[in-house]
Structure 1
Amino acid sequence: MTSANESIMEAKKLMDQGIALVWEAGNPQEGLAVIEQAIQQQPEFFSDHFVAMNTKGCALLSLERYEEALTIFDQALKIQKNPYDAHTAQKNKALTLLQLEKYEESVEWYEKALEWNEKVIKDISQNWCNRGYALYCSKNYDEAIKSNDKALEYTPKNGLIFYSKACCYSLQNKVELALDNLKKAISLDSEIKKSAKTDSDFDNIRSDERFQAIVGTEFNVEAVQQFFNEALKNYDDQQFVFVGDLGTSVESSIVLPDNVREAYAFYGENFAQPGSFGCVCIYHVSVAGLPTYALEAMAIAGAGKFENWIEIYTEIGEEITCGKLQNKVITWGNQVTVRSDFMGN
């Protein structure tokens, strides 16, 4: 038993010498001879030894013994035990096929090798992103930005990374950099726009007209009127209660026609200003009597344009009961009451 172990140890030392000759000394011919000697001494032990097999293949490749190298790399692929080994054998086989002028097969194997490359690149990028997020949570924004920049070296078209940078810059009140990175983020991933509308990291620049233009919160009363009028036109004399927060929080006990909810959601998503808009409620609406100016006023109120909101109702001579930022109540006749609960300023 001892002699068998000694034989294996001697063969391993010999293999290490052969591998060093190939990779460190740059002597594939002598290294190959030593590797083959080690395998001959312990063929069973080295039958599933990936490094030994791959190094032998590389030595053969360097010596332009391409057909032999191809056979060895095929064996290496059969005994690989992890994705990195598989990738190594795949790219070596691809290179060997290229030398043999088997171009289509070479392309096929390079594509397999590149799949691993892309995965590793994404993993590295994600690690930098996660590091950046930890720094962001620690309020170390400068280092978080640096970490995100490293992530962008690997995945330069990842909109979420630019978004993370925009958040950090906004929290540092670096407005120009925040807007620039947010614009880049949205250009790469339009879905990011929805997150930006409600993300508190942008509260300090939310009133900036440039921010509103980037995320699409610019106010368009005609579009709001069109959606509400279309939704309400077929509900003459029907009474219902309408409650929501950006069109998402509707109590289960309340009956609200689907198309009205859709219109409200459209309004909330496209025009409401998070942080200044709480909810708008219509109680017992006789829809046939709901005037256009009411919809206009609701939309303007929801968009946080308080001066315009008050101005409309002042002009039509309706009663205004107003606590500065909350419980603004408007009533006309006995027909419609609109209550808007506001947050922010």
Structure 2
Amino acid sequence: MRIKLPGSRKVKSTVLAVCAVVAIVIIITAGINNKKEKQIMQAKIEQQQKQEKEDQKKIKIEIEEKKKKQQQLDQKAGQADALFYARKYDDAIKLAEEVIKEDPDNYIAYNVLGITKIFKSRTLDEGMKDLDRSLQLKSDYGYAMFNKGLAYELLGYYDEAIEWYNKNLKVEKYVWSYYGIASIYGRRGDIENTVKYFKKAIEVDPKVKETAKDEHDFDPVRGDERFSRLLK
């Protein structure tokens, strides 16, 4: 069924033309708007991607800076350890405390601080707390286990010393833990265990023979051929 428009053919043609133009304008406008929306959306996506890249870059820089800072603090704790072995106890304590002030969770610094306090005071009081704190922060930290053994040996708690040396040996084959156990048994005159653990120390590092030659802890067993052979 045809729809008849009112008016003359000319009017009808004009109306149809206008309608066509309007339709075209609507279509074009819709297309333009759609294109603008796509452009806006694309711009938002690009801006978001740019922001994500900037955020990732920022995070990467922060991680690298944090890692670098941690390395510097660990090196500082290592310097404190060197001062301990040089018997500069006050300097070692000061440096370790500086590290802990900046990094309260630095298990390396607590380890150094603890053993240094013990050697300086010849008591287990505060120093042992620091060693325990080191192991709380890193339960498998072999060096702190060794230092607990060393501290107990220093103060004559030999059974406890052997216990902690053995704990250290469960996480690492540390020559001085073997040596420490051997020296305690040597002090006791227990030749079998002295030889057993001293052999293990030599297997890890033969240079301990030179240290043992002047070690008074081995005097009770030094005359035994089984021990003297190991020194050759």
TM-score (norm 2): 0.45
Larger Rg: 2
From the two aligned structures, give the one with the greater strand fraction. 1
TM-score (norm 1): 0.33
From the two aligned structures, give the one with the greater helix fraction. 2
